Amino acid sequence: MNNSGKSTMKGKILIVDDTPANIGVILSYLRDQGYKMLVAEDGESAIEQVGFMKPDLILMDIMMPGLNGFETCTSLKANKETADIPIIFMSALNETVDKVKGFQLGAVDYITKPFQQEEVLARIKTHLKMESLQKELKLTNATLEDRIRERTLKLQEVNEELDRFLYRSSHDLRRPLTTLLGLVEIANITLADNEARELFAQVRLTAVQMDHLLKKLQMVSEINQSSAEVTKPMNIERIMAKIKKRFSGLLQKKSINFKFTHSLPEEVNYHPFFLEVILFNVIENSVVFAQAQAPWIEVSITLEKNSLKIVVKDNGLGIDEKYLATVLNMYFRANEQSQGNGLGLYVAKKAIDKMKGKIYIDSKLDKFTEVTIMLPYKKDIK
């Protein structure tokens, strides 16, 4: 009989033994301790019983006719519905068994006959507690994974919304700037007052700087929304001609000797948008920080194994060594008097990261800067 204080069922335990007389004492003892006890006399009936009774723990004899304990354990562990049920093997002291094999098959422990009741109870409690903790951990992990998945989806939605806002806002803001720049040009033509013309020149400079900033923000938005998986036909010389045209005024004004070489075929399947963004921003940095005396910029693009290598080198103002680790950060500027908006190399890095590429910068102040970019390239040349 169960004591009233032990009436609460602590769990279901299945004992598998082909000789019920051997387990009568431990069966009664565990039942008195508050466990619901189930019995199977062979491996086949144990497997069948486990399927619908779902015990919390199994005490399994090893030496049985038909399916022995090892074979029964193997079958239970192969079924995902029963694989997590802890199995403790039972063996007699005079039986030679391969305990290592039992652990390899998934057993959690061994006990020997004749049983020491308190030892058996202690081992059962330990493994039931461990199994309970594992279930709690799995449940907690599943809950955390659900929360992380939900949070990730929300963040993705927010980021997509921010990208759309960024793109539309920068696009809409550029319209009035274009109008303002047109009015400045008209003022320069119609006004005779030099002071007024100088004032409008400052207005124009500010408007151009704002327009450049908005272009960068548009680029960031487009990088985030564009896929690096889809390739398109690309002609590198057309891309470079487009970039040179955008810098033609500054190249001429600063008398920069610009040289471009490449080893690409006339047309390849690649990522023209990303490549244009990278080249534009890195070359822009070289143009903006060109030195006054005999400035030059050299750009080379070559194919190396599974990579497309871009090298942009100049003899410009260079970068102080202490800033090399942070020069790719957003809005990086060495000082308040620094030219540029601090976004060029950051935007280039965004595009490079999207393509799973790498960027390396070597520079010496007042001497040179060399930017090397390695982009993954699959040889699917048309």
Q: Do domains 4-115 and 227-382 have the same CATH topology?
A: no
Distance CA 341, CA 217 (A): 11
* Count of C-beta atoms within a 10 Å radius of residue 51: 12
The residues near 51 (Cβ < 8 Å, ≥ 6 apart) are: 81, 82
Q: Enter the tokens of residue 264.
A: 């690409």
Q: Rounded to whole angstroms, how far apart are CA atoms 300 and 208?
A: 29
Task: Decide if 188 contacts 197 (C-beta within 8 A).
Answer: yes
What pLDDT shows up at residue 50? 93
> Under CATH, to which class is 4-115 assigned?
alpha beta
**pLDDT (0 to 100) of residue 189:** 77
CATH (one of 3.40.50.300, 3.30.565.10, 3.90.226.10, 1.25.40.10) for 227-382: 3.30.565.10
pLDDT of residue 38: 94
Half-sphere CA count of 292, side-chain side, radius 13 A: 0
CB 233, CB 267: distance < 8 Å: yes
139 Cβ contact partners less than 8 Å away, ≥ 6 residues apart? none
| pLDDT reported for residue 169 | 63
Cis peptide before 20 (omega within 30 of 0): no
Q: In the chain, where are the structural domains located?
A: 4-115, 227-382
Q: What is the pLDDT along the chain (382 residues), one digit of tens a residue?
A: 444 444 467 889 999 998 877 788 889 999 999 999 999 999 999 999 998 899 999 999 998 888 999 999 999 999 999 999 999 998 875 666 678 888 999 999 999 888 889 999 999 999 999 988 988 898 888 888 888 888 888 777 766 666 665 666 666 566 666 777 777 777 777 777 777 777 777 777 777 777 777 777 778 888 888 888 888 999 999 999 999 999 999 999 999 999 999 999 988 889 999 999 999 999 999 998 999 899 999 999 999 888 999 999 999 999 888 888 888 887 676 645 456 667 889 899 999 999 999 999 999 999 999 999 999 997 654 4
- What is the reported pLDDT for 196? 75
